[in-house]
Amino acid sequence: MFESFAGEAIGIVKGNKRSPKPWVIVTRFCLPNETVRVRLYWNKRLHSFADVIEVVTPNLELRDNSRIKCKYFAECGGCQYQMLSYDHQLKLKRDVIVKAYKSFSNLPDSSVPIIQNAIPSPFQYGYRTKLTPHFDAPPKEHRKKKASVVDEKVVKPEWLKIGFNKAGTHRVMDIEECPISTPTLNNALPSVRENIYRNIHRYEKGVSLTLRDSLIIPNAGPSTSSTSLEAMPPSDPPVPPPSTATTSPDTEDSTDDALSTMLSQHVCITDPKATVRESVGDFIFEYHASSFFQNNNSVLRPLTEYVRDAIFPPSLSPSTATSSPQPMPTHLVDAYCGAGLFSITLSPYFEKIAGIELSSESIKAAQHNASLNSIPSSKITFRAGDAGDLFATVRQDFPPSQTVLIIDPPRKGCDDNFIQQALDFRCGTIVYVSCNVHTQARDVGKLVDGTKEDGVGRRYVIESLRGFDLFPQTAHIEGVAVLRLV
């Protein structure tokens, strides 16, 4: 029997005379109370990792294989939950956050509020705006051999696999389509794959491709939607984009207005150095195809609006600000700001905003996006550097009690230096957004525990915890924690 945890199933095998201690088996694609046959592929102390061969006794209350839309499911490592109803996926993801704070925050239960239900994604399939299929270098005996052509069609070499890793391995499996990706990317994938077939003899090493869904950029040059030879090593052939644009399913036929029509037209970008354009509410964002930006555009507006409402709850509205013990937030510090998603979408609500990011390329994109959305540099500034250095630059002009700190770090979370500087500066409100709720729980625990002995108005409490489903059909969940000084 198995119990589910964080997208993997953990089974306990009872001890016997040869091995009196119980043995733990970790596998994927199993559900609680299922009996399965597995093949062990990695043994460690008191536990093993395994692949499922057969589900002997399925959990019919939860498992419904008719829901599965991907022919590669249970082989490809990308999705884990396609056999579940979406409501149950959200329940499991909420449970992941509950267990993360119980195991990693080092806080008593009384300090952790009831975790709210996860916010669903508007799209459960067809949402992913970025694909990075990859392939290995040709085997020695196939190098320099051109692909065969039959009836004017290029034939894929038998050895070639273009796709993603098989679950639990580093072996590439061939993937011709991905149902969680947008129609724009799936429509482009056949031409991208055919180009690899045609030019595989020119590759000397394995390559990871980039496909990004982008709004059409008016008056864009050819490099926006085509691959520049200068962007790739000389031995790597270009990957052509699709020849036609597609229409976004959520805006198709919504209006005859020319601007709305333009904004609903999507293309696939395959040049890592080309510009990608997205809209989030009334804001436009542009960035290099190779740089980081959230991969589920459909949930970004609900996410940014939730963060806005968490920062400015009814008790802190302008009409009650004079009677509230907490001053109205007026300044925003955006650590790990990336291309400026939170800084720019929240800009109407703050007097001054400062963002910082290690990637100088992302900072250039953030500065460009501020200009693109007509936000003056007197109001919003971005600089490249370590997130911990940001507090020294804002200490003079940003009143801590009226400053909001947004933290959106990489999966590893924040280092101790950043946590200490955040504690020293003591912003009135902290919003911590994370793709790894386990490191988020650890860091939030440090922020709360680091102020527990301080006086009134100097202690952080967790006001709310909630998940956002940026990755339907997978075990991943984005966590949003709101901390307030009391």
Active site residue: 30, 79, 337, 435, which one?
A: 435
> Which three-class secondary structure state does DSSP give residue 5?
strand
Placement of tokens 């004017």 in the chain: 152
256 belongs to an annotated ligand binding site: no
Find, among 202, 193, 197, 198, the residue nearest to 159 by Cα: 197
Q: Rg of the chain's alpha carbons, rounded to an integer?
A: 25
**CA dist., res. 435 & res. 413, Å (int):** 9
- The answer to whether residue 427 is catalytic is no
453 belongs to an annotated ligand binding site: no
294 belongs to an annotated ligand binding site: yes
Beta bridge partner(s), residue 207: 135
What DSSP line would sit under 431-480, residue for residue?
A: EEEES-HHHHHHHHHHHHHTTTTS-TTS-EEEEEEEEE-SSTTSS--EEE
**CA dist., res. 262 & res. 20, Å (int):** 67
Give the 3-state secondary structure of 240-304. CCCCCCEECCCCCCCCCCHHHHHHCEEEEECCCCCEEEEEECCEEEEEECCCCCCCEHHHHHHHH
Report the C-alpha dihedral over residues 319, 354, 390, 315, rounded to 10 degrees. Answer: 10
336 belongs to an annotated ligand binding site: yes
* Contact indicator for 407, 390 with CB cutoff of 8 Å: no
Hey, which residues are catalytic here? 435
Residue positions forming the annotated binding site: 294, 336, 357, 408
Residue positions forming the annotated binding site for S-adenosyl-L-methionine: 294, 336, 357, 408
